[in-house]
Amino acid sequence: MDNVNAIEDKSMDNSTSVQYIVVKIGSEQYGININYIDNIVRSEPITRVPKTQTYYKGVINLRGEIIPVMSVRIKLGLEPDVFTDKTRFIIVKVDGATIGVIVDQVKEVVTLDSDSIEKVNKANNSDAAANYIESIGKSNGELISLLDIVGLIVEASDK
């Protein structure tokens, strides 16, 4: 009987766990919910599109699909992107829209349960980055700012 309860408890814990891809943007670590990620690709040549928001770097052709590319750094109010051999485009699908986001480096995939995630208070915060952070995760003694990727993408595509 105890084994059955242990199995049920474990399955209940798994239902509250979420996987995140941990990326570096500048000197900070951010987590993106893996459910929104379609693909991760090396940086590709970007074709500039005139008269777009400054955080849109242009578009890429990924296997015949034209995908807009957004600089998360600029969107978060950080310094412009510096492309290196570790730079990646994370292809994200949100509400039927596909967009690439530029990150400095993809580090790892972590699984966080609800006990290791703390919600943040967004009220009265003038920091641009804080507006797109939904919570803070703790993994292996490190803090990971968990991005509100839906808010980041949906707001960007509305403008």
Q: Which residue has the tokens 């955080």?
A: 55
Residue 6 falls within a domain, yes or no?
no
Any residues with CB less than 8 A from the CB of 27 and at least 6 apart, and which? none
Identify the CATH number of the domain in which residue 119 sits. Answer: 2.40.50.180
Structurally, the chain folds into a number of domains equal to 1
Long-range contacts at 82-85 (CB < 8 A, ≥ 24 apart): 83/43
Q: Output the pLDDT for position 122.
A: 63
Boundaries of domain holding 31: 18-158
Residue 8 falls within a domain, yes or no?
no
* Three-state secondary structure call for residue 17: coil
**Burial environment of residue 106 by CB neighbours within 10 A (0 to 12, 13 to 18, 19 or more):** middle
Residue 1 falls within a domain, yes or no?
no
Residue 58 falls within a domain, yes or no?
yes
> Rounded to whole angstroms, what are the CA distances from 72 to 9, 17, 31, 75?
38, 25, 13, 5
Task: Characterise 158 by phi-psi region: left (phi > 0), alpha (psi -120 to 50), beta (else).
Answer: alpha
| Per-residue pLDDT of the chain in tens (159 residues, 90 and over written 9) | 444 443 444 444 444 899 999 999 988 999 999 999 999 999 889 999 999 999 999 999 999 999 999 999 998 888 999 999 999 999 999 888 899 999 999 999 999 998 899 988 765 555 666 788 999 999 988 999 999 998 888 765 554
Residue 13 falls within a domain, yes or no?
no
Q: Output the pLDDT for position 14.
A: 45
Residue 92 falls within a domain, yes or no?
yes
* Three-state secondary structure call for residue 1: coil
Residue 3 falls within a domain, yes or no?
no
Sign of CA dihedral 128, 111, 88, 83: positive
* CB contact at 8 A, 76 and 25: yes
